Amino acid sequence: MENNKNSVLLTVLGVCTLLVALVGASFAYFTATATTTNQNVQTGKLEVQSTLSETAQSNINPTTFATDTADTNADIAKFTFNVKGAGTTVTGGTYNIQLLGAASGIKELPNQGTIADIEYALYEGTAETGTLVKTGSFSTISSSTTINGTAKALTASTDDTYTLYVYIKETNQNQDNLQAVTISATMNALAQTPAP
């Protein structure tokens, strides 16, 4: 009979031990913790306004580009391009300038002028008093290329003026291919916010 009491006692102790283990394990399982990091979300308005003075020029002749006469040379087409950040409220906004250029009506005659002879020069300000941003030929313009190098800051107070000069570069060869050619240029201001 005493053996039965010991067995019952051991059984009760075993069950109690099992219950304590289960309760402890459950308690440990359900008391897991997690931490979060505060995320600062900024919102704002990114707005860029641009205007291009559209000036049609006809009957231009091949010429040499010189900074001191670029604004008075009648054979250089000049376009004033303005970029404003009016309405922008984000911090760290930037913009790039894209030039899309085309020339149509070039005659197919050997060694008498090509689209590579049609060049451009972009200045912040003017050629005479501003800063050169980029020069190049219409033969190297692609639809995915921006021409102002590094992105410029765009804020609510941004008010930048550019002048685009387009001309036929005078060479020592016959350029009859470029008679009656039509040259067109489109400038875009592409705004963006900083990378996350």
Average pLDDT, rounded, for the chain: 80
Model confidence at 185: pLDDT above 50: yes
Strand order in the sheet with 118-124: 49-52, 77-84, 159-168, 118-124, 131-137
Find how far residue 19's CA is from the centre of its chain: 66
Q: Could you count the other beta carbons within 10 Å of the beta carbon of residue 179?
A: 13
The one-character DSSP state at 115 is: G
Contact 181, 104 (CB under 8 A): yes
- Per-residue b/e over 134-168, b at no fewer than 16 CB within 10 Å? beeebeebeeeebbbeebbebeeebebebbbbbbb
CB–CB of 138/115 below 8 Å? yes
What is the dihedral sign for C-alpha 23, 24, 27, 32?
A: negative
Q: Which amino acid is at 143?
A: S
Confidence band of 89 (pLDDT split at 50, 70, 90):
confident
Dihedral of CA atoms 49, 67, 138, 93 in degrees, nearest 10, equals -30
Task: Kindly provide the residue ranges of all beta strands, DSSP E only, lying in 26-170, ordered along the sequence.
Answer: 49-52, 77-84, 94-104, 118-124, 131-137, 152-153, 159-168
Query: For residue range 32-63, what is the model confidence (pLDDT) as tens digits?
Result: 566 667 766 556 777 777 776 666 677 888 99
Q: Residue 192 and residue 194: Cα distance in Å, rounded?
A: 7
Above 70 in pLDDT, residue 16?
Answer: no
Q: What is the dihedral of CA 172, 175, 181, 187, to 10 degrees?
A: -20
Token representation of residue 118: 């049609």
d(CA 96, CA 190): 5
Please tell me the predicted confidence (pLDDT) of residue 15.
62
Query: Can you read off the two tokens belonging to residue 126?
Result: 């003017």
Residue 155 in this model has a pLDDT that exceeds 90: no
Tens of pLDDT, residue by residue over 91-145, are 888 888 888 888 888 887 777 888 889 999 999 999 999 999 999 998 888 777 7
Say if residue 29's pLDDT is above 60.
Answer: no
Tell me what pLDDT residue 53 has: 65
